[in-house]
């Protein structure tokens, strides 16, 4: 058993690569269509998780959030699960009306 752990650790150690190298291999370099699609999906996922976390902090259900913002519960669910595109106007409504917070955008 001990020998097996050492062999596994050595194999893993020999194959460690950077996150950027992994992304380049799997999705292509920055600017390629496949990389851009991956990055867009990743940002959609992050936004959904952020909205869910903030909604839960505000002690709101998806139905309550939908009612406050004039959307549907199923749409809130799809956003939180990274399965829906969201318009900027809707994002503002969710943050400002639904969560009673301010949204600021930054371009890098």
Side-chain-side CA neighbours of 99 within 13 Å: the count stands at 20
1 pLDDT above the threshold of 80: no
If you write DSSP's letter for every residue of 44-64 in order, what string do you get?
A: HHHHHHHHHHHHHHTT--HHH
Q: What percent of the chain has pLDDT over 90?
A: 81
At residue 27, the 3 state secondary structure works out as: helix
Per-residue pLDDT, averaged over 32-48, amounts to 93
Q: Measure the CA–CA gap between 59 and 72, rounded to whole angstroms.
A: 18
97 pLDDT above the threshold of 80: yes
């Amino acid at each position: 058993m001990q020998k097996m752990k050492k062999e596994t650790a050595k194999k893993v150690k020999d194959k460690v690569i950077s996150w950027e190298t992994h992304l380049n291999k799997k999705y292509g370099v920055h600017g390629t269509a496949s990389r851009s699609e991956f990055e867009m999906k990743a940002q959609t996922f992050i936004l959904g998780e952020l909205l869910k976390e903030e909604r839960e902090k505000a002690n709101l259900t998806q139905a309550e959030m939908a009612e406050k913002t004039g959307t549907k519960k199923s749409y809130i669910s799809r956003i939180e699960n990274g399965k829906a595109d969201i318009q900027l106007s809707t994002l503002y409504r969710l943050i400002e009306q639904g969560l009673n917070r301010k949204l600021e955008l930054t371009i890098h």
